[in-house]
Chains A and B, each alone.
Chain A
Amino acid sequence: MRVTVIGAGVAGLCVATELHRRGVEVAVIGTPPGPDACSWWAGGMLAPDCEGESAEEPVVRLGHEAADWWQARGVRVHRRGTLVVSLQRDAAALARFARRSAGHREVDAAEVEPALPQRRGLLFEGEAHLAPREALAVLAAGVEFVREAKGQVIDCRGLAARDVLADLRGVRGETVLIHCAEVAISRPVRLLHPRMPLYLVPRGEGVFLLGATSVESDGRGPPTVRAVLELLSAAFALHPALAEAEVLELGADARPAFPDNLPRIRRVGGVLHVNGLYRHGFLLAPALARMVADHLLLGIEPEVME
């Protein structure tokens, strides 16, 4: 079987890698990973249990496949869990988060991450994180890039596939990359806040990604002042020493999403579309890639197929 994948974001590269691994002759049309793909700007949290607080069941279940898949592909996966904290006055939000998610235990944040002040937190030990750009590069190195499609076409163009998928919409996200040698945090930390929720993902050597806004917009322009203010204010509230951090980079892009924010595999004509990964690209792409391979090779109907 010969397959051509269009799109070299996280969806396209995972599908191509999985097919290649399972003996399919596969090539990718697209530019190797860079700032054009929204996955370039991702947090890289493999946090299905935390996502379960607001996302629907398939995200949690399918997301549990992700860490093992990435690690087996030779990507560095940091299995240090996720720490969820709130500010003192939002203690009720932490209790609610605990009630609406599973796979956590209550901890003192300072015992888990000594750099943080003492406060109640939730530790999701089964979760992990990776560095998206590193992961994309590992996958890209293992697939062939071509200019022309041959055989079965799999469309993984993300938001660009709106010309075919009319119910796809953009959900804009904005991020800030900072460097702060003074604060040693080794696992993703989520700060619950009624207006400015924040996550901080360590990238190693004092670099942290702060994210991410979620705005109903397909705008891909630079981050707004408001977004940057909110992210940085929340980071300051998490740890005052982050005020001394250097701002390395501002990021913004629009993620592709269907109305229920769940991914789909959809056949349109002869083309198989894999899309709508929303803010769960690195979390769900492995499961979707597996489903695509199972479908093409074994005839198994994917549960997210339409």
Chain B
Amino acid sequence: MPVFYGEELGSALMLGTAGYPSPAVLERAFRASGAGVATVSLRREAGGGQDFWALVQGLGVRLLPNTAGCHGAREAVTTAQMAREVFGTDWIKLEVIGHADTLQPDVFGLVEAARILCAEGFRVFPYCTEDLIVCERLLEAGCEVLMPWGAPIGSGIGLNNPFGLRALRAAFPGVPMVVDAGIGLPSHAAAAMEMGYDAVLVNSAVARAGDPAAMAGAMADAVQAGRAAYLADPMERTDMAVASTPVLGRAFL
């Protein structure tokens, strides 16, 4: 199971808490998923989401507050500091949004905010692109986990750049990595795990499904299958057919 900042989780599936039809449905989805981590947003509920936070805390899973909706390093740092107070954890999923339509991370602001927060003792989970140099800078800034996107947040597109994600996985073999954002189907989650990613983070794919609990269960199965496949050392693909039973010498009848 994945280890982040020295803490081992019970599952490689991380689940977001936004956009469910009701808190009761959210709870059923979490139970069905067995997720080890719940991400929770401080920002949208700044007016007093205490009731909702209490419900999320009642799920009994590790909380990972995020800085969703922050558009600059300073804003993200302030939100992270508030989240530490509210949720009593130094884990923070750092999001610095750079582009309004795609919600693509502002990687420059991200590195800046990561540097500040790591120096303040936060355990930073940066939501980043699969760019190798950006990820290198984030590690230099003190991050010990990377969270590259699969595709834009909430798009359900899946793994938009498998080549880039493979290259990133290979570039930093010892660093725990989570594919975050863009996962729409269990097959996307399985594909990320098959590449050797340590976990996936899913929200909209579960929350916006017709039956969120059933989709959460399917995601959990996919993550397990993908991880098992990775550990089983999959065969190499070839362009030539290789029969599993010999054809040569078949009896003439």
B contacts with A, residue count (CB < 8 A): 18
Provide the residues of chain B in CB contact with A262, threshold 8 Å. Answer: 22
Whether, in the assembled complex, A280 has its beta carbon less than 8 Å from a beta carbon of chain B, the answer is: no
Known: A55-B21, A215-B49, A218-B48. 19 other contacts (CB 8 A): A54-B21, A56-B22, A100-B210, A169-B52, A169-B55, A170-B48, A172-B47, A215-B47, A216-B49, A216-B52, A217-B46, A218-B50, A257-B22, A259-B55, A260-B23, A260-B24, A260-B25, A261-B21, A261-B22
Whether, in the assembled complex, A221 has its beta carbon less than 8 Å from a beta carbon of chain B, the answer is: yes
Whether, in the assembled complex, B85 has its beta carbon less than 8 Å from a beta carbon of chain A, the answer is: no
Whether, in the assembled complex, A194 has its beta carbon less than 8 Å from a beta carbon of chain B, the answer is: yes
Whether, in the assembled complex, A58 has its beta carbon less than 8 Å from a beta carbon of chain B, the answer is: no
Give A212 to B2 CA distance when docked, in angstroms. 40
By secondary structure, the A interface counts as loop
A contacts with B, residue count (CB < 8 A): 20
Residues of A within 8 A of B (CB): 54-56, 100, 169-170, 172, 194, 215-219, 221, 224, 257, 259-262
Q: From residue B86, how far is it (CB to closest CB) to chain A in Å? A: 13
A217 lies within 8 A of B49 (CB): yes
Q: From residue B60, how far is it (CB to closest CB) to chain A in Å? A: 15
Provide the residues of chain A in CB contact with B210, threshold 8 Å. Answer: 100
Whether, in the assembled complex, B237 has its beta carbon less than 8 Å from a beta carbon of chain A, the answer is: no
Whether, in the assembled complex, B44 has its beta carbon less than 8 Å from a beta carbon of chain A, the answer is: yes
List B residues 34-84 near A (Cβ within 8 Å).
44-52, 55
A221 lies within 8 A of B47 (CB): yes
Provide the residues of chain B in CB contact with A217, threshold 8 Å. Answer: 45-49, 52
A170 lies within 8 A of B21 (CB): no
Provide the residues of chain A in CB contact with B51, threshold 8 Å. Answer: 169-170, 216, 218
Task: Enumerate 19 A-B pairs (CB-CB under 8 Å) in ascending A order.
Answer: A55-B21, A56-B22, A169-B51, A169-B55, A170-B51, A215-B45, A215-B47, A216-B49, A216-B52, A217-B47, A217-B52, A218-B50, A259-B23, A259-B24, A259-B27, A259-B55, A260-B22, A261-B21, A262-B22
Give A224 to B48 CA distance when docked, in angstroms. 13
Give A172 to B154 CA distance when docked, in angstroms. 23
Provide the residues of chain B in CB contact with A55, threshold 8 Å. Answer: 21
Q: From residue A81, how far is it (CB to closest CB) to chain B in Å? A: 24
